[in-house]
Amino acid sequence: MGKILEVKNLTIHIKTHKGVVQAVRGVDFYLNEQETLAVVGESGSGKSITMKGVMGILPKNGKVVDGTVMFQGNDLTKYTERQMQQVRGSEIAMIFQDPMSALNPVMTVGAQIMEVLKIHHPEQSTAQLEARVDEMMELVGIPAKRKVEYPHQFSGGMKQRIVIAIALACEPKLILADEPVSALDVTIQKQIMELMVQLQEELQLSILFISHDLNVIYQMCDRVLVMKEGRIV
């Protein structure tokens, strides 16, 4: 298996009212196809900002000032925002930490899965998109008939399943999972981790998994990177 992602000398600066913060300092790592790589470290060590740099979703005051992010042979740091919009969701998807804030409270969960599909598959009919929404709901263990319900009608664990369904809807090859189980209780954590392992095998996914929970990492991941003060240590 080859490398699906290779990051070299990634350096990210964040402008603040007190000056420039070197949030990520010359980070190097790679991820193989169908591998799960953990990134661990204390709060503020640069884990999430590194992933946002890879995804091209840095805050407005953040900037990649050096380094390359090679995804399937292409340097994403050279992509325009329009090009990155085509990559996000279809090639690389992100599962965010808190499902409560990741979902839109005034849209049905089915509409939120449909939204991603419409962006990347505008050529498909409404019937085809609806069928895909049903398929994704069932894939993550939620009856398709519940697609007309709103996020507040689901438990925390089921919300996270919906977030995973949105991430997987366009069949990306790489998933960036930013502490996807930290907001859930232990029993639900186990269910979500088992689901992710199952989906990885079925869909042949590569996963970059951020966590500070070593027990979760032990169960989920093939290799571990430890970050401190913006560096891999």
> Over the stretch 65-76, which tens digit does the pLDDT of each residue have?
999 999 999 999
Q: What percent of the chain has pLDDT over 70?
A: 99
Bigger pLDDT: 53 vs 191: 53
pLDDT confidence of residue 222: 93
Q: What share of the chain is helix, strand, coil (3-state, %, to 5)?
A: 40, 30, 30
> Over the stretch 4-22, which tens digit does the pLDDT of each residue have?
999 999 999 999 998 999 9
> Over the stretch 171-229, which tens digit does the pLDDT of each residue have?
899 999 988 877 677 777 788 888 888 888 888 999 999 988 888 888 889 999 999 99
For residue 92, the SS3 value is: strand
Q: Is the dihedral of CA 216, 222, 228, 233 positive or negative?
A: positive
Bigger pLDDT: 181 vs 131: 131
pLDDT confidence of residue 5: 96
Say how many Å lie between the first and final Cα of the chain, rounded. Answer: 26
pTM exceeding 0.85? yes
